[in-house]
Each structure stands twice: as C-alpha cells, then as structure tokens.
A and B are shown apart, each in its own frame.
Chain A
Amino acid sequence: MHRFWAVLFSLVPVLGIGLYVLAVVGKGSIGGFSLAGLWLPENANPYTTTIDHLFDLVHIICGVVLGITTSVLAYVIWRYADHAGRKNEAAQYVTHHALLEWIWTVIPGAILVFLGFYQLQVWADNKMNRPMQTIDGNIQAIEPMALVVGKQFGWEVYYPGPDGRLGTSDDLRIENDLTVPVGRPVVLRVEAQDVLHSFAIPGLRVKQDVVPGMTQLVWFQVDKPGTYEILCMELCGWGHYKMRARMKAVAEPLDGIANGSSTEPSSTATPVADEEVKD
C-alpha cells in the first residue's frame, strides 16, 4: 500500500511541473481541451516585457524547488514507510544537522534577496518613473492624453476638446471606448467616481486600482495595433463583471473624438485593422 501512496505523491512534481511545461510550450491537449493559450497572453507593451521575464524566472526557480521538495516527499514514502519488509529497520535518531540547516537557510535566502533587488527596477519603471519626452530641447514628463474615470459600472473616457486641455467645458466624453496611438508612450490619468475600481489591461500587463478622491497615472506603450479589453479588477459591486471597456490602438494621427475633431466616436463597430486613417 505504501507504494501506492508514494506513486500518488510522485504525481505532484510530475504533473505539477509537467502541466506547467505543457502550458508554456502551448502544445498538447488533455481530454480534447487544447493546452495552447494557457500561459501569459501576448504582451504588446514594451514597458512590461520585464514583468513577463520575472514571471518566467520566478516560475523556473519555484519549479526547481517544487520538483526537489515534492520528489523527496514521494521518495521518503517509497523508501521509509513502515511495512512488513522492514520490520528490523529502526528509525534513525537524528535531531539536527548544523551544516545542512545552514545550507538550506543561506541558499534560499540568497536567492530571495537577489529576487528582491532584481525586481526593483521593473517596479520603478512601471509605477514610479513616468516616461519622458523632449519638447523644444527640454526633457519633461509626458502629460496624460486622456482621463479615464471608473464608475459603477463602466469607464468614462474624457478627451481634451478643441482646446487641447483636460478639465474644461469642451472635454469630450465617451463611455467604454478609449483610443490611443500605437508606438509611443501613453500616459493616462485614472480616477474613480464612486467606489474602488481597478484599471486593468491584461494584454498590456497594466493594472492600477483607482480610489475615489485620488488621482493616479498609468503609462504604457502599445506596439501592436488592435483592440484591447480594459477590465475592472477590484470588486465594485454587483455589476463588477460587466465593467469592461474597449481600447483601440491605432496609428497616428488619431481621428474623431480622440483628436477632438468630432463629437462622435471615430467608429463604433469596425475593427481597427480595417480602419482607414484619415486626417
């Protein structure tokens, strides 16, 4: 019987790591369900490729640790379980082993400290260092191109109107529809009107909780034209699941409402790829 349990426990590292590998490789299928598309979705944001890199790195480290520890667990059951065959074999009397303990304190500790410092730059790039641009020889932080306000249950997008400034009476508002340019840094101001929401775009690895009474900035760059989903990722009430918007990344110059040249959305239904860009 102990062999049975040993085999069961050995499934933990085998399947645990195996399924991950299959998912990363994105091939094969289980029970008719394809494993493709189970890992990180495509990332179109160059600011966050390092996040994907960290995600993979930590998974590799963790996978190694998982493999070692759970394999040992399965092995001890196989080897050391009490059964009729080892009636005369007593358990070893070992209370501690200083060297071993130092090894498994220092090595994981070193790895963890390394991870801690290794990630700081990525954190800073995404949450602290707002992208800069050069205007007339002066380097300055990029100003937000639009204001996105979360409310129950949707995202209101405000573009500066003809005067080019946010927060004036000619601002143009549209629900759940954001248009941004491709290939250059975009800064958005995000706010909440009523309760907590979270401005999240999984396809760009962007996420920022928005808190009523606070103003936050998010920035990213979209390198691939297309349509992305903006989701709310902080429980905001019964309609939480309904709260999603569309973000279209198009080549410049923007047209329609995003450019302040029209009061109607540039196109309500046509996919971006088919869209003719006009002046």
Chain B
Amino acid sequence: MRYHTVIIGAGMSGLAAGIRLAYYEKPVCILERHTTIGGLNSFYRLRGRNYDVGLHAVTNYAPPGTRKGPLAKLLKQLRLRWDDFDLSPQCGSAVEFPGRRLRFNNDFELLSEEVLREFPDQADRFQKLVEYIREFDELDLSQQPVSARSVVGGFLTDPVLVDMLFCPLMFYGSAKPRDMDFSQFCIMFQAIFEQGFARPLAGVRKILKSLTRHFKALGGHLKLRHGVSEIRIEGGRAVGVVLDDGTEIEADNVLSSAGVVETLRLCPDAAQPDLPPAGEVSFNEAIFMLDRQPAELGHRETIVFYNDAERFHYEPPAEPCDVRSGIICSPNNFEYPDGGQLDEGCLRITSLANPDYWMSLPEPDYIAQKEAWCERMVESALGHTPDFRPHVVETDIFSPRTIRKFTGHIRGAVYGAPEKVLSGETPVENLYLCGTDQGFLGIIGAMLSGITMANNHLLRPVGEATHLAGR
C-alpha cells in the first residue's frame, strides 16, 4: 500500500506526529529499527526489574486542569486526557556548587527566593532576565541562533550564578557544548524552572503506552524491527523508503526523527549537501536499585545537579567520564497520589562521557571500564548524597554506546546535533525532520515537535489538495 506519510522512528516525536496524521485519517506508518518503542526515552527489563532509559523526569509540568502551556497544548492536540500521562509532581530539586546551593521546585517563587538568598546583589538582575525570557518568542521558527551565554551575561554579572542556571538546563537538553542557543535556553528555562518536573509512577512506559494505544486505535500502522536503510528520492522529492531487508514502502511524505545527519545519510548521494556535524554530548549513567527508599537514607531531593569544579564545564571530556559534575536523580522522590511509591529504592547517577572512548572499547574492557568509572562517579556524587552503597541490590550502567543502540545517533549524542533545523525542512522536497534535531526539547518538547511538523507540513490544506489529487 501507499502511505500518505512514513515516519522514521517510534520515539515521542514520531508517535505524536503519527497520532495527528492518523486522527485526520491519513494513511500513516511508523517504522522503528529497534525492538521496542521510545527511542531515547525507552524502557527495558533486566533480571526481573523494570528500568527506564532516558527519562529522569518529564519537564513542563502543569497541574490537572491547566489550560495554558506546552503540556495543555500537547494533550489538546493529541486528544489525550490528563490521566493518560498520569504525572506526579517532583518533591524538590537543587543545584549544588562549591559553597552554594539553589533549591527549586514546581513553584517558581522558590527559585526566586533562593537566588535572593544566595546571590543578593544579583536578585534584581535575575528578575529582569526572567521578564526578558517570558517575553521572548522561543517558538518563532524563523529566528537565527544567538549565544545564550552572551544574552544571560548581559543581565547577570556573577559567573557562578550564570553557571548554576546553565547547569540543569544544559544537562537536560543542550546538544551544544559550552553554550546554548538562546531560544533553547528559554525553552529549557521555562520547562525546568518555571513549569518543573513530574513523572508517572509507572515511568516512561505509561506515556509511551498511551501514545501507542491511541495511535493504533486511530488506524495507524506501527512496525518494530523495521529499520530504514534508504530514503527513496525521485526528481528531488521523497517518494518512499527502503527497509534493511530491501523491501520498499511508498509514501507521499517522509517525516524523520532519526536526526539531521542520520536522515541525510539515508538519502542517495546526489541529494546530499555537505553534512552538518553530528552531536557529541553524551553521558554515562549508573542506575542503582536499593533495598530501601532513598528518603530513608536521607536523600529527599528529586534531582540534584552538582558541580565541584570552580566553573561548570559542559563539553565532551578528554577522560572517559567527567566526574567533576553530575546528576543524581531518584524516581522515588515524586509526590505520587495516595501515598503510592515504587517498590524499590532507585538512584540514577549521570556524568558527561567521551563518546569516542566508549564506542571504541572492545567488549570485555567495555564492561570493566563501565564499572571502574561507575565507582568514580559514585565517589564524586557522595559529596551530594548520603552513602547508599551498602544498600545497593542491583546496578545497571549505560554509556554513549547504549544511546547509539536506542537512538541510532551516530556518536550516541543524547540531545542530537548541535545545530537545530527549526523549520524541519530538508533539501529534499516532502522530506521533513521532527524530534531532537528539529529543536523542541524534553519529552513534552519532542511530542510538540512531532505535532508541529505534522501540522505545518503534512496537514495544511494545500499539501492536502495535492495528496487527494494523487489518489
């Protein structure tokens, strides 16, 4: 059969785009190379336990009944109910630097008070920055990139405060080392500091299953273990895809969440301009299952972003992992309804990693080095959490190599390419991008990316007329 649209990748963005198209009765098929859905934000089962990969927390939280903001917009567009995501808000998080601490939760007031307490001479400047961010139209798809460090540096004069604000925003979304584009900074600032963190009790499964069930109920096709090896182009126009096993699938449009370089590499040579650089920011993460709740050990924060160096360095390290900074996340520390709680305690510790090192290690060394670096990550994290080591019952560790397996990103880049393509357009007609490399960030951002690209390129009445005429 011939599809209106073939979507490459069954992650958050591809599923959301698929729902929009299926809802409006477009024949649509999502192709996923992996054995499961989710892409970067996926889940797996190991030795009898459920794990999430990716998702620490959903950003952009809004309480039930909220009518404004990204989460409300997303639910409306997907015709989903608030309960379909089942989000519970965080307990509270912190940014910890040498001698400094900023707490924040889903009420922005707390962060404002903390900035006033910790950096009294910066408080007025901080408020002016916040006003500027609120008025900035970060969703204008036609804007040019601007350095966020230069914009923020124009408001704040204390480099430590600047670093403390950048730290969580970069860790949770910057594909670019050292700096961010200001529009990305604004998206992340609002997503994390103004709206805040939440999580479904059942983890990312809950969200992915709601999306998949809805997509299939609307008549969409979802094919796992169906990797795309080539995008077929005729006369400068995408006309379908070729699968790993050689099967061809015809489609009037191709929407790819594979990443900008990864997508262009699927196009036959003639259509390829100079390829843009692939992303290189990636992480190692150790997931510890504990014999008690982290709160019982005195660890009550939802997420701690820490940095022990004089300045915060966000770049691929020369060493295998950069243990000077990191993230400690506990999926237990959310306000689950009716006193609900995960059966086991869990802590996840994350550090920047050097992708090339982890990609090139032979298998036996790979496992040994993951464990060796895990120990160093933990030693560094112990400055920011009680010693949980005697309570560990199970450990799993992922590296950039794991990210590559789940996402197909060439260097295991968690947040994709450093330069985003906000319009979602490519040099090939009827081939569009969605997801990480289109540039809306986080889980909610990824879904909004799929929705926006489907709306802008695949559901507009003009494109529609062409499609109907061709049937």
Asked whether A and B interact, the reply is: no
Q: Footprint of A on B, CB under 8 Å?
A: none
